[in-house]
Chain A
Amino acid sequence: MTDRDDEQLDGGATTPAEALAAIRASQEAVRDQTRPDSTRMFVVWGVAYLVAYVALYLGFDREGQTPGGWSLAVLGVSVVAAMAYTAVHITRRTSGIRGSSAMVGRMFGWAWVLGFGFAAVIVGSVAAAGAPPLAVSILANAVFLLVVAALYMAGGALWREWPMFVLGAWFAVTGAVAAIVTPPNGYLVQAVAGGGGFLVAALATALLARREA
């Protein structure tokens, strides 16, 4: 085999510094192309939270003590759109990659599905047992945010990503505040602190990535 690519490095002008630079460039390229982009995920979810919670706030039916139909529709559309974007992005980035990280990702994905399923059952059962509408509104928001906060902290620990962990911890605090404040003002807390939290985290991951490069 005498193809050009097979030339020994020290035959040409390649120095150890250049070889090390080539190693770094290759490792950055593979990371950039095969790992989900946290910054992009945080922006997408930040916008979804902002839109959804502003809708819940504006559409709150004060007599019925529950979010109005159109605001729940906006919430549904925002969450489904963000979920679809996340799924497509992660599938694209991780296609052709198998092994331990794929298994970890699948387990984490199922943790979300089962966590949200459980949360929905809790809210449904409490409502069916005759809890007042305001109590159901508080519980629904709190129990879903509990799942989000816990899984963000767990994900941060799993992938050693500080912005993700801090975001989870922040959601635990803002979720608690929103429960104390109660809807509809609690929704405004979520829109600003929750949605804003995602956007701050996006900025943090973008800056961290730039510093590493």
Chain B
Amino acid sequence: MSELELDPVIHAQARLRVVATLAGLPRGDRIAFPRLQKVLDMTAGNLSTHLRKLEDAGYVAVEKAFEGRSPATYLSLTPTGRRAFETYTASLEALLKGSLE
């Protein structure tokens, strides 16, 4: 399954779930780190590592905010990230179709 290039940033078990989850939010929405962690059922350290990679690739926007006195981090998919996810999903579908023929 390598005729089609699959985006290596997304093509890893944990990051695929992170990106798919963020893409599942309505456009223009951001999710707090602890909430995302709960939905994904990942450890904070693990999630941070993957988010950093996705942020470095320009796929995820990280917004630090203050809620009262405590700091909060909100995550969302950037337009680049959403496009990359859509391309990745389309590639998977193409691969699936190819393997069935």
Contacts and interface: CB of A to CB of B under 8 A. Distances in A.
B39 A29 contact: yes
Interface in B23-59: 23-32, 34-36, 38-40, 42, 46, 49-50, 53
Interface stretch (A2-10, A46-54, A72-80): A2-10
A17 B96 contact: yes
Given A3-B46, A5-B50, A100-B29, A29 B12 contact: no
B29 A8 contact: no
Interface stretch (A91-99, A117-125, A138-146): A91-99
Interface in A19-43: 19-20, 22-23, 26-31, 33-34
Given A3-B49, A26-B21, A10 B11 contact: yes
Contact of B16 (A3, A15, A23, A28): A23
A98 B35 CA distance: 11
B84 interface: no
Interface residues of A, number: 32
Contact of A99 (B29, B42, B46, B89): B29
B70 interface: no
B24 A30 contact: yes
Interface in B67-84: 74, 76
B: interface residue count bin: 35 or more
A52 B49 CA distance: 53
Nearest to B74: A98
A101 B27 CA distance: 8
Given A96-B31, A100-B28, A30 B39 contact: yes
Contacts of B96: 15-17, 20
Contact of B27 (A9, A16, A100): A100
B39 A9 contact: no
Contacts of A19: 16, 92
B21 A29 contact: yes
B30 A98 contact: yes
Interface of A: 1, 3, 5-10, 14-17, 19-20, 22-23, 26-31, 33-34, 95-102
